[in-house]
Amino acid sequence: MGAVTAPDDAPPPAGDTAGAHARGVARAAGTAARETAALTRVGWRATRRFVRSHGAGETGLAKLIDLTALGSAGDAIVTVSLAGTLFFSVPTGQARGRVAVYLLVTMAPFAVLAPVVGPALDRLGHGRRFAMAATFGLRALLALVMAGAVAGTEDPLRLYPAAFGVLVGVKAYGVARAAAMPRLLPRGLDLVTANSRVSLASLVALTVMGPVGAGVVRLFGPDWALRLAAVVFVVGGVLAVRLPARLDDERVRPAALREDDEVPPPEPRGPRASGLGPRLREGREKRAQAVGPSVVRALRANAAVRAFAGFLLLHLAFLLRAHPLAGLPATGLLAAAAAAAGIGSAVGASLGSALRARPPEGTVLVSLLGTTVAAALGWLLFGLVAVLAVAVVAGLAQTLAKLALDALIQRDVPGEVRASAFARSETLLQLSWVVGAGAGTLLPPHGGLALGLAALVLAATLVVVATSGRRSRRVPPPAQAGPAPAG
C-alpha cells in the first residue's frame, strides 16, 4: 500500500499558522517601535531647538527652563503617588464643611511664603543658585519621608507635615526662579515670551511624567514612586548649582547680558535701621515704593481672574452633582471641565510665546475682559457646551494674565525686593482663588445664575482696573524741588 499524501490545497498545520502570526505581530511591533523612537528623536531635537532659540542657550535661560521642567516632573510623580492616600481622601463634592477645610489647607504654605521665604530670598544676593538647589533638596528629603509614611500602614503624622513641606518647596522654587530669570534673559526674547516657555516646559513635564508615575505606583507601589521622585529632585539640585554664575552677580543687568556692555555698579545702600521693628518697617516701606501702579493693576486683574477660576471649579462640583447636564454623570462632567481648563491653559502658554513685543498691561486687560465676556455668555447660554467653553477661556485667561503679571514684576520691581514681590503676589492670588472657591461652594446650584453674578463682579473689577490706568496716565510726575526764591 502506497503512502497517503495530503492534497495540495490542504491548510497548513495549526502550529505553523500561529508561528507565522506571531512573527508578523513581532515585525509590526518592531516597526512601530522604530518609528516611535524616530519620531521621539525628531520631537526631542525640535524641542531643544525651541528652548535654546533666540539666545536662550547662550545666556543660560535654557538651563533654567530644563530645571523647571525637571522639578515639575518630580512634582507630578509626588502628586500621583499621593492620589490614593489619606492626603487626597476628602472629596470636594461631599460636604461643604470638609471643602472649607480643604481650602484652608491650600492656603497653609502661603502663610510661610510671603513673610518668610520671599524676604529670605531677597537677602540671598549671592546665593540664588544654592537657594534653588535647597528647594530641590528639601523636596527630595521629604519625598523619602513620605515614602516611609505610605509604605505599609499609612502614617498621617508624618505624611501631612511632609506634604506641607513639599508644597512650600514648590512655591519657594517658583518665587526664586521668577525673581532670578531676568538675569538670564537674552536680547532676542521679552519677559512674557520667556515666562511662557517656562510654563510650556512645566506643562509638558507634568503631562509626560504623570502617567509614568502612575505606572510606577501600579507596578511597585506609591512608596517606590516617591523614591523615584526623590532621585529626580536630587538631580535637580545638582543642576541648580550648575546654573550660570551670573545669577549671583548683582552687577548683571536684566536683558543686557553681552560681555561688551557697560554694566553699572550696584547702587550704594544707606545705613540699615537698628532693631528688629525698625528694620521690618523699613523693608515694608521699600517694598511698597518698589511696586509701581502697573503691577498693582495687574495684581487686581489677576486676582479677579484667579478668583473666577476657583469659583468655577468648586461651583461646578456642586452644580453638576445636583443637576447633571445632558444626562451624563457628574464625575465625568467635572473631569471634562477640568480637561477643558487644562487645554485652555496650554493654549495660553502657547499664545504667550507668540505675544512678542506686546505690552503686558494690554494682555492683562484682554484676559480680564475675555473672562468677563465668557462668564456672561455662560450665564445666558447655560448648557454643556457653554460650561466647557467657559472652562477653556478661564484656563487660557488665567495663564496669560499670570504670564503678563510675572513680566511686569520682573520688569518694574527692583531685584533687591523682587522675590518678596513674587511671594506676596502668589499669596494674594492663592487667597483670591480660595475666596472664589468659597463663594462657589456657598452659592446655591441654580443653573447659570451664579455665572451671571460672577460676570457682574468681573465687570466691576474691569472698570476699576481700566479707569485706574487712565488716572495714573493723567497724573503728571512730581516736580523736582528747586531752590527757594530769594527774598
Q: What is the pLDDT of residues 420-460, one digit of tens each?
A: 888 888 888 888 988 898 888 888 878 788 899 999 999 99
Residue 83 CA to residue 211 CA, distance in Å, equals 13
Closest CA to 345 of 391, 407, 384, 298: 391
Region 145-169: mean pLDDT is: 81
* Domain pair 50-250 / 292-472, same fold: yes
CATH architecture of 292-472: Up-down Bundle (1.20)
Q: Which range, 256-270, 274-288, 353-367, is most confident? A: 353-367
Topology, domain 50-250: Growth Hormone; Chain: A; (1.20.1250)
Closest CA to 190 of 370, 56, 366, 337: 56
Can you give the residue ranges of every domain in the chain? 50-250, 292-472
Q: Burial code of 211-239, b = ≥16 C-beta within 10 A, e = fewer?
A: eebbebbeeebbbebbbbbbebbbbbbeb
Confidence of residue 112 (pLDDT cuts 50, 70, 90): low
Q: Name which of 64-78, 100-114, 435-449 the model is least confident about.
A: 100-114
More confident call, 456 vs 44: 456
Closest CA to 367 of 421, 431, 358, 470: 358
- HSE-up of residue 337 (Cα within 13 Å, Cβ side): 28
Q: What is the pLDDT of residues 281-312, one digit of tens each?
A: 565 555 555 667 889 999 999 999 999 998 99
- AA identity, residue 442: L
Q: Burial code of 37-48, b = ≥16 C-beta within 10 A, e = fewer?
A: eeeeeeeeeeee
Q: What is the pLDDT of residues 175-228, one digit of tens each?
A: 888 888 888 888 878 888 888 888 888 888 888 888 898 889 889 988 999 999
